Amino acid sequence: MMKQIPNLLTLSNLACGCLAIAAVFNGKPVQASWLMLLAAGFDFLDGFAARLLKANSPLGVQLDSLADLVTFGVAPGFIMQYLAISNGYCAAEGFCINGYVFLAIPLFSAYRLAKFNIDERQTTGFLGVPTPANALLIASFPFIVEAQGLLEPVITHFRFVTLFPVISAYLLVSDLPLMAFKFKSFSLRAQPFHYTFLLIMLAGIILQGWQSVPWIFLAYLLLSGADYLWRKPGSAVQSSGTA
């Protein structure tokens, strides 16, 4: 029975993803964002529990990818569709490309997750933006819009709503080298950019909460680039964790 705990946590992630989608359909995107954050917690815990209980299995790997597709692929896609419709960027009748461009997010999330499962290059770093990171960035948008934060005019702008899903899709399946945070060593000297990012993330969350997420995401991309350039030439780009 103990060996099934990781799978139960994964199913909890999936349940949150399904409820998040329902929340978007009911016009409650902020509630959907909270459910996605809760799902991210379950996603972290299922991997932790699997390692602790030595319960890693092929079934768990496949189940995790399926849950992540719903929670971190489909749900954020519908948040983007909600932004398009609620801001009047999609006609009530007839075909409207702005009402379908959101599909790039779930489709390319699926491609990324499948690619990650067979990519042997990744064990301590990521190639392309992980689906949870992309999803939590999108989950911050309803909070920023509701609070009329600094980025609210950007997030609700026609061009952003239309182009962001395409940019997001590209980043998901690109070979952009990005940091992961499964530490084998806690040496500050060996991983300065990892610790810099963690400090920025902590400060941003404490000071601005959800409003800081886009800036934290940007810092993640920039510091990952700095980390890649700082490492010795020829070192392998490896990854571990959730794709």
Task: Give one DSSP letter per residue of 44-113, joined into a string.
Answer: HHHHHHHHHHT---HHHHHHHHHHHHIIIIIHHHHHHHHHHHHTT-S-SSS--GGGTGGGHHHHHHHHHH
Rg of the chain on CA atoms, in Å: 18
> Consecutive 10-residue runs of the chain (243 residues): their mean pLDDT?
78 93 94 94 80 71 86 94 85 66 93 81 76 94 90 90 93 87 62 85 89 92 84 53 65
Query: Which residues, 6+ apart, have CB-to-CB distance to 169 below 8 Å?
Result: 104, 105, 107, 108
Q: What is the pLDDT of residue 135?
A: 95
Give the phi and the psi of residue 177 in degrees, each rounded to 5.
Answer: -75, 125
Whether 48 is covered by a domain: the verdict is yes
> 205 lies in a domain?
no
Residue 209 lies inside a defined structural domain of this protein: no
pLDDT value of position 92: 56
If 0-12 CB within 10 Å is exposed, 13-18 middle and 19+ buried, where does residue 177 land? buried
For residue 21, the enclosing domain spans: 2-119+130-176
Please name which of 222, 185, 187, 216 lies closest in space to residue 199, comparing C-alpha atoms. Answer: 216
d(CA 50, CA 56): 5
> Would residue 27 count as lying in a domain?
yes
The verdict on residue 171 lying in a domain is: yes
Asked whether residue 70 is domain-assigned, the answer is yes
Residue 151 lies in a domain: yes
For residue 160, with 0-12 CB atoms within 10 Å meaning exposed, 13-18 middle and 19 or more buried, which class applies? middle
pLDDT, position 45: 84
Q: Give the model's pLDDT for residue 104.
A: 93
**208 falls within a domain:** no
Token pair belonging to 114: 């499948």
**CA end-to-end span of the chain:** 27
Provide the pLDDT for residue 170: 93
What is the count of structural domains for the chain? 1
Residue-level pLDDT at 185: 57
CATH of the domain at 164: 1.20.120.1760
Unique residue bearing structure tokens 């950019």:
193
